[in-house]
Structure 1
Amino acid sequence: MQSLIRVSAASIIAVHSMDYMLKNKKPAYSARELAGKMKVSYNHLSKVLQRLAAGNLVAAYRGPSGGYLLTEKGKRARLGEIINAIEGESERPPCFMSTKTCGRSRCVLKNFLDKTSREFNKLLNLKLGDF
């Protein structure tokens, strides 16, 4: 069975890189070092780190001892905040079928989708250190 929930590779890289920085306390991490530790593309990770920096979850420092580190906001970030920094805010549409295909006054999937969304939102509220 295919999953209803999809998370992009960029979001997965973002969560893993922030988790790595949280657990391995160093003054700063170079993108190359993180890419090597995580075994991901340096170019992809660099773009992810730029988005995290734009969301004020990591700070970037230039120079020989520069690199990336978690901001105070990043240290307290919830999973949903990290994903939103990468993907942007999203909303579930009121109906998945734009033409009201089911012909019902109330969608047959509404209760299921609402419950699934509530459970998923609980997971998105977890902080990095919670799992």
Structure 2
Amino acid sequence: MSMRFDSTDNRLALLATVVLGLLLLAGCSDPADAQASTAKDEKERREVVLSVPDMSCPMCPITVRRALNGVDGVYEAEADLDTKQARAVFDPARTDPEALIAAIENAGFSATVKGERDE
């Protein structure tokens, strides 16, 4: 009884070998590098809460959020119509609250810093 391998079997074997190799390489990363990277990312994040009193309709928070997300260095942004506030998490090396306020003002709203903290 002889077994016959065709090109499909060879391709599957090659694919399995490549996947296994990639999984092994992924497991070989240095945990110290990963921790240093995480610590660096945490240092480069700051959160600011902005008062945006001009928001008056359901589209306003969407416009404010898009304006904030358009600023280089913003990681995440949200805006709330009920509280008339916006929150942004950003990299202080790439932007600052003044630039975030300017982006909101360019979108047609007034804004002031309500609170700022390191994240």
Global fold match (TM > 0.5): no
Structure possessing the higher relative contact order (Cα contacts under 8 Å, 6 or more residues apart): 2
Bigger helix fraction:
1
TM-score, with normalisation over the residues of structure 1?
0.26
Whichever of the two has the greater Rg, that structure is 2
After TM superposition, the score normalised by the length of structure 2 is 0.28
More strand by share: 2
